[in-house]
Structure 1
Amino acid sequence: MSEVIIRAIEARDVVQVAAMVHELAAHEEMPEHCHLKPEQLLGVLFGERPALFGIVAELDGEVGGFALYFLNFSTWHGVHGIYAEDVYIRPALRGRGVARQIWGHLAQLALDNGYTRVECVTLRSNTLGMDVHLALGAEPRDDWRVLRWEAESLRALAASTRAGSRGPGAS
């Protein structure tokens, strides 16, 4: 049996990873919400100021899984953490320990860089994902709720302010 390799994402992987993002959206029964294009992913991963990072799971030269992540920051601890935005493994690689390898790789990246945590959000309906995360030692944080502004609520919030500067670091 061949060995799965976990490695940093490369530009040559972007088309496959973008396709898997769409597979993930279909798996979560929300394909109409996924609009990612490979060129967008290429820009945020490899542009002038990358803000997104990724790793892939490769078997026999084929990419069959990925994790896309970015850094968050704990003001209480004063250090970064890793926030895994999406982790997906194609069915052909499931049941081979690939999830453990991907999450373990992210954990090692966090430790190597002095970060204090790795986080993700899992849909309540994704019971398989939740079971995997819990089996790997993830601790549910039921005391916190994810809140989000998007679409109309995002536009309304922006329109309600008169800030002169908008963007990272603006107050």
Structure 2
Amino acid sequence: MTQQSKIRLATAEDSALILSFIKGLAEYEKMADQVVATEQKLTQTLFGDKAAAEVVIVEYQGQPAGFALFFHNYSTFLAQPGLYLEDLFVLPAFRGKGLGKLLLSYLANLAVERGCGRFEWSVLDWNQPAIDFYQSQGAKLMHDWRITRLTGAELQALAAQYQQ
């Protein structure tokens, strides 16, 4: 970390800031219409009794500049927990100052400290700057894997098929 930047754990008081970062990321990814998160939901799900994820904020010269949201998963093959990076975003005005690398190295260090066997994340296939950056940090693209997802009506329909 440079003297001009620092990483801190987010608190419930950061919910509005986190939401602004989420909206900035969604705009960059051309998905702004998909954001339904609210400050209240973020406070509940990130800082409530059953926190679903953790967030760190990176600051540059005392100004919030970006965030990373992450959680633990589990590798059955390794029989170890892993760290999954859901989102990483640095405001455009602060890009090129090493803050993305700082966030990634912080999380890699956290994964090692917590005994994780993997540190993983997804990247959009059109986001070549991000792909190049991640590969420059030693990350490997997993070309054989595809993300699958159920949400909304499809999730509800499959859940309704369960019979106890």
**If the length of structure 1 is used for normalisation, what is the TM-score?**
0.90
Distance in 2, matches of 1:74 and 1:28, equals 28
Aligned to 1:72: 73
Aligned to 2:144: 143
Structure-to-structure mapping, 1:6-85, within 5 angstroms: 6-85=7-86
For the pair 1:154 / 2:155, whether they are aligned, the reply is: yes
For the pair 1:124 / 2:122, whether they are aligned, the reply is: no
Bigger shift: residues 101-110 or 7-16: 7-16
- SS at 2:67 equivalent: strand
Could you tell me whether the CA contact under 8 Å between 1:6 and 1:56 is conserved in 2? yes
Distance in 2, matches of 1:91 and 1:140, equals 25
Bigger shift: residues 108-117 or 149-158: 149-158
Distance in 2, matches of 1:130 and 1:13, equals 29
**CA shift at 1:49, angstroms?**
1.6
Could you tell me whether the CA contact under 8 Å between 1:13 and 1:63 is conserved in 2? no
**CA shift at 1:2, angstroms?**
5.9
**CA shift at 1:39, angstroms?**
1.4
List runs of 5+ in structure 1 lacking aligned partners: 164-171
Distance in 1, matches of 2:13 and 2:67, equals 13
**If the length of structure 2 is used for normalisation, what is the TM-score?**
0.94
List runs of 5+ in structure 2 lacking aligned partners: none
1:56-115, Cα deviation, whole Å (9 max, x unpaired):
111233211000011000111111111111100001110011111000000000000110
Distance in 2, matches of 1:38 and 1:126, equals 28
Distance in 1, matches of 2:42 and 2:36, equals 11
Aligned to 1:167: none
> Counterpart amino acid of 2:129?
L
Could you tell me whether the CA contact under 8 Å between 1:81 and 1:110 is conserved in 2? yes
> Counterpart amino acid of 1:159?
A
Distance in 1, matches of 2:154 and 2:115, equals 36
Aligned to 1:168: none
